[in-house]
Amino acid sequence: MITAASAPRSLLPAALVLIGGWSAVTPAQAERPTIGSVVRHDAALDQLLAADAEIEVVASGFQWSEGPVWDRENRRLLWSDVPANTIYQWSEGKEGHSVFMKPSGFTGVAAGYGEPGSNGLTFDAAGRLLCCEHGDRRVSALTPGGGKITLADRYDGKRFNSPNDLCVHSSGAVFFTDPPYGLPGNDKDPKRETPWFGVYRIDPDGTVTLLSKECERPNGIALSPDEKILYVAQSHGPQPHIFAWDIQADGSLGERRSLFDASALAKKFPGMPDGMKVDKDGNIWTTGPGGVLVLSPRGKLLGHILTGQRTANCNWGGDGSVLYMTADFYICRIPTLTKGAGW
């Protein structure tokens, strides 16, 4: 996501106490604080979010939170703090959050990286934690009980810009986006080697395929539940769209189409389309202006989860029905009446 360094910051809820980067609820606070609201644009949202659903804050105090993913085996949430070059962890019933891995996306010694850490995170079928790494400009895998391996760091001999977000196909193929946001000089950075901002696929044998270079700023990425459609969010002021492609039998993409245009919302709320996930019925839960947009499979806006912050990403957790959101310096969640695809 575009850096939030200049984003306006609302006051933390009074019940939140920040202690050296940790967040904790005051002893007198029996429940976690809530923020924001839900706006209903279509009656279909009633089947997805209860009327009394609230946005609950589970942690705070981050520079720019991203890439939430639920670790089912250990029943914990992991997420990236991109400027801090750190992945954090949080578990229900445990006080506060803690460092899971640091560094998370940059292992070099060069200075000047404003957003050097990991961004999008996901798990594959083998239980490996897959990371989009800004500073090291690669897609990596943290093996269970082992170290990191590089899945891909270049295409056609040229290094990627800064891999941003990713999703995994049932075949084991990894789809990811590669905008310039992690480069110190963004799209003007002299270290750029790739002349476009692409959407790629890494096959299980390691082959890297360029699927599209049509997007000015490809960002969040997801597959439909039947894996026949690829969605990509574009975080680009002149064209803040959610795009969709039909996946052809040979693995290539069909013609790009705009599923949702967030231009009107971007005039009212801060933020751009970014990370996204789909539920079991194919509805798209995508971060965007003001928070999280809930779209039907055809791109109709059903509802708007207003966090009040620039919201970078979201993912399913718990039993698969809880939507976790990384909203600038907050980690939030909201209960839903559905479940994520694959749960």
Q: Report the pLDDT value the prediction gives residue 226, as an integer from 0 to 100.
A: 98
Q: Report the share of the chain in percent with pLDDT over 70.
A: 91
DSSP E strands: which ranges in 172-275?
174-177, 199-202, 208-212, 218-223, 229-234, 241-246, 257-261
Q: Looking at residue 109, what is its pLDDT? A: 84
Cα gap 337→39, rounded to integer Å: 16
Instruction: Please check the confidence at residue 27 and state whether its pLDDT lies above 60.
Output: no
pLDDT for residue 93: 87
Q: Which CATH class is domain 34-335?
A: mainly beta
Q: Mean pLDDT, the chain, as a whole number?
A: 91
- Percentage of residues in the chain having pLDDT higher than 90: 86
Q: Residue 97: what pLDDT?
A: 96
Radius of gyration of the chain (CA): 18
Question: What gap in Å lies between CA 262 and CA 133, rounded to an integer?
Answer: 27
Domain-wise residue ranges, the chain: 34-335
pLDDT in tens, 169-215: 999 999 999 999 999 999 999 999 999 999 999 999 999 999 999 99
**pTM value > 0.85:** yes
Is pLDDT at 23 greater than 90 in this prediction? no
pLDDT confidence band for 18 (50 / 70 / 90): very low
pLDDT digits (tens, 9 = 90+) for 152-165: 999 999 999 999 99
115 pLDDT exceeds 60?
A: yes
- Average pLDDT estimate for 42-59: 97
DSSP reduced 3-state for 263: helix
pLDDT band at 22 (very low <50, low <70, confident <90, very high): very low
Dihedral over Cα of 113, 218, 130, 331: its sign? positive
pLDDT for 89-105, tens place per residue?
A: 999 988 899 999 999 99
Mean pLDDT of 305-332: 97
d(CA 119, CA 85): 9
